[in-house]
Structure 1
């Protein structure tokens, strides 16, 4: 066995595999682009084309609290927020939803979790990470969904409360 190469049978198979890999890779790189399955939700293919922006949907302003679809879902905003100022210095949402203003406004009070920092310490004012309401809460609008949605809450449909 002296002088024989133990890998002599593996080398030809490996070379054939590499050649096949290169051939398939070349064929795939020249193939047409794949069909886009997901509709574009981020805008037009040419962002500098100056296309007209479609109008926003009509806000639902009935002030009815909507049922949540899953635990811990942020509530939706059941009123118009057009013209609301939401900056580092001003948050118009707090004019009605801060604890000291809810009695006069009739608005629901923001959750106590909005006063806790990331370490669980309770602050005297809304924590900076919860200050920008529209990062989690969205206004209800009367529009057609962008994509079909057949979501069903498995807990409620499986005999839950």
Structure 2
């Protein structure tokens, strides 16, 4: 079982990455972790999700957003977070379920798509892919966050 805190630095725990250091095109990851039945159950409880809503052909799947606590792992492994980062946008596409009754080994990779300024604020946009141990995508994301100076 891998908890997000086991694989991603917390804001303030290490020196954070200023905006100028981010490089467009920079590869992120790979970072691997396991989502276990215990994590799935804990997430159902913490999010107050109804497991009955996540049956796929009669089989219990995890709530797909069980990946969200791990979302920033690829970017934070390469670029530790500076205090004050604010998430601005998130698009996620789920490709296949994470089954509630088995451990799913996940490998997260990605890349920095672009850096830009909008209304005097500096942003980073990055793309991530979360795949199972067969290399099949579980989810893909496009995330934009504001990096304070």
TM-score, length basis structure 2? 0.22
Higher strand share: 2
| Larger RCO (CA under 8 A, 6+ residues apart) | 2
Larger Rg: 1
TM-score, length basis structure 1? 0.21
Higher helix share: 1
